A and B are shown apart, each in its own frame.
Chain A
Amino acid sequence: MAIIEVKDLHKTFKLQDGRELEVLKGISTGINKGEKIAVIGPSGSGKSTFLRCLNRMEEPTSGTITFKGEDITSPKCDINLVRRKMGMVFQHFYLFPHLTVRKNLTLSPVQLKLMTQDEADSRAQELLARVGLADKIDEWPERLSGGQKQRVAIARAMAMNPDVLLFDEPTSALDPEMIGEVLDVMQELADSGMTMYLVTHEMGFAHKVADKILFIDNGVISEEGTPDEVFDHPKKPRTIEFLSKVLRR
């Protein structure tokens, strides 16, 4: 059963000079419980915008998005309640620098009165152990390496016990030697049955982990299918061209 369903999603940005830029030109897709979908495509194709529309970090211009049967684009929807169940991991981590790792993880569950501080603390302990950072619970974010920060950010998103995790290029800002540790954590999450949307340039990881690949180009899904279909037997000329560029190296 589909957790998220997207119908005819459009997003138009108003530029500073008054012109309009249509980034998403009608996207319809969805994700089932436990499914892992990797979103790939050239930069500027709209893949991040697509992801950011799913939890309304960007307001869709038109179209509908339903999350567990609820239309979250409707004005009646309380987006804060939806976001509790839709975690997001950002390219630049965005840990809260004025809070320790522990507080980064527990701020939201405690403030929203979903857990007591004690409950949230033990959950934080558990999650940090899971991402291999149990000893960093009282550390300050700026003391961590990029890879460690991103693993904390993943744990922070998990602290809300979300139904879906949205990854927005989670390894793009990392030094090459730190990409592996973050991908390992994501692999483990995937294996545990987490539902995941992943915007990425890590084609190898997408191939290995994803159930489905969406190739977004120029604001539309230009090709989709299993990793084997898209990576090994692409049909559209644009997909072939893109893959030949990113896989050649």
Chain B
Amino acid sequence: MQMTMRNNLCSRREGAGRGDIVLGIFALFLLYLLYDSGFFTAAAWQDFNRRFYQNFVKDSRYMMLVDGLKSTIFMTTGATLIGLAVGLILSVIRVAYKGGADIPMLNKLANTYITVLRGTPAMVQLLIWNFTIFASARDLNTQYIAILAFGLNSGAYVAEIFRGGIESIDPGQMEAARSLGLSYGTSMRFVILPQALRNVVPMLFNEFIALLKETSVAGYIGIDDLTRAGQNIQALTLEHSQPLVMVAIIYLVIVLFLTHLVRKLEEWLSRGRRG
């Protein structure tokens, strides 16, 4: 199983697809525009290098971006873990209620939670957590507040992903487990959830990617994440484009890498259980 997965990850697609060609033409067009605007003259190139040095090299300013990236990854990872836990609990409540469990209050609570957290912007939620709920907790690391805010927000989305995954499993699986004397909870844990999880892994990964980008508003509560690090460099060098374009490129590279992973993962999962 492991071996096949490795092989799949290493295999390469042959030749260029239509998307690659379009991208190539677009890149050529962009190069032409730059050329036309005098970007490739020696003076412009020198200026570009000087500003690049100012922005990223001098006083090790690139470290600001590195630290920002660390913070972004830390928040995203923490929020993902909370999101998974919260989402799992919420989805099981909703599925169990639908399956006849006598938990109307819990179900109502779960529904309200999902509606409210999906129905309001994550950034507003972040601000409320920081400036209202934890307003008096000034010695608390704001990164933890952000993790909580983004995690609880993500939980509402993850809950819907999980619910879809659980409901996609044939009801006969639950019946077969129950017919062996297993309780509802044990059947859920050992029979239903492992199958559901497998079905939703790609969607969970996409949620992780969305979350990564969503944490870019953490600067609003004073966290030096990747985005804020770019702005901090801007403030030091009074440079208007390079730092933010660099930030965008870093996000893009990470997202493209993760997207690539999801695609490989999907391929592997659709190949069946043993590749």
- Chain A residues with CB under 8 A of B198: 98
Distance to closest chain A CB from B191 (angstroms): 6
Interface size on A, residues (CB 8 A): 27
B182 engages A80 (CB within 8 Å) = yes
Within 8 A of B (CB), among A55-87: 55, 57, 80-84, 86-87
Total residues of chain B contacting the partner, CB 8 A: 21
User: B167 an interface residue at 8 Å Cβ cutoff?
Assistant: no
Q: How many A-B pairs fall under 8 Å by CB?
A: 68
A153 to B178, CA, bound (A): 14
The one of B170, B181, B273 that contacts A81, using a Cβ cutoff of 8 Å? B181
Report if A142-B173 is in contact (Cβ < 8 Å); known contacts: A108-B181, A111-B186, A111-B190.
no
State whether the Cβ of B38 lies closer than 8 Å to any Cβ in chain A.
no
Q: How far is the CA of A153 from the CA of B177 in the complex (A)?
A: 11
Question: For chain B, what secondary structure do more than half of its interface residues adopt (helix, strand, loop), or is it mixed?
Answer: helix
A107 touches B (CB below 8 Å): yes
Within 8 A of B (CB), among A102-134: 107-108, 111-112
Known contacts: A92-B172, A140-B274. The answer to whether A107 contacts B181 by CB under 8 A is no
Cβ of A210 under 8 Å from chain B: no
Across the interface, which residues of A come within 8 angstroms of B173, CB to CB?
A: 94, 96
Evaluate contact between B273 and A90: CB separation under 8 angstroms: no
A156 to B176, alpha carbons, bound, how many Å?
10
Q: Do B182 and A57 have beta carbons less than 8 Å apart? A: no
- Kindly state whether residue A97 has any CB partner on chain B within 8 Å: yes
User: Cβ of B175 < 8 Å from any Cβ of A?
Assistant: yes
A112 to B172, CA, bound (A): 20
Are A57 and B178 touching (Cβ within 8 A)? Answer: yes
Q: Is A27 an interface residue (CB 8 A)?
A: no
The residue from B176, B194, B272 contacting A90, defined by CB atoms under 8 A apart: B176
Kindly list chain B residues whose C-beta atoms are within 8 Å of the C-beta of A108: 177, 180-182
Q: Known: A57-B175, A107-B190, A111-B186. Contact between A94 and B170, CB under 8 A? A: yes
B187 to chain A, nearest CB (A): 9
Asked if A157 is at the interface (CB within 8 A of a chain B CB), the reply is yes
A88 proximity list for chain B (CB < 8 A): 175-176, 179
Give the docked Cα–Cα distance between A107 and B172 (Å).
17
Closest 8 pairs (CB-CB, A-B): A84-B181, A94-B176, A108-B180, A88-B179, A94-B172, A83-B181, A98-B194, A80-B181
What is the interface of chain B, defined by CB distance below 8 A to chain A? Answer: 170, 172-173, 175-183, 186, 190-191, 194-195, 198, 272-274
**A-B contact sample (9 more), CB < 8 A, given A112-B182, A140-B274:** A83-B180, A90-B175, A95-B176, A98-B195, A108-B182, A112-B181, A140-B273, A142-B272, A156-B180
A: residues with CB less than 8 A from B are 55, 57, 80-84, 86-88, 90, 92, 94-98, 107-108, 111-112, 140, 142, 153, 156-157, 160
16 contacts between A and B (CB under 8 A): A80-B178, A80-B182, A80-B183, A83-B178, A90-B175, A90-B179, A94-B170, A96-B176, A96-B177, A96-B195, A107-B190, A108-B182, A111-B186, A140-B273, A140-B274, A157-B180
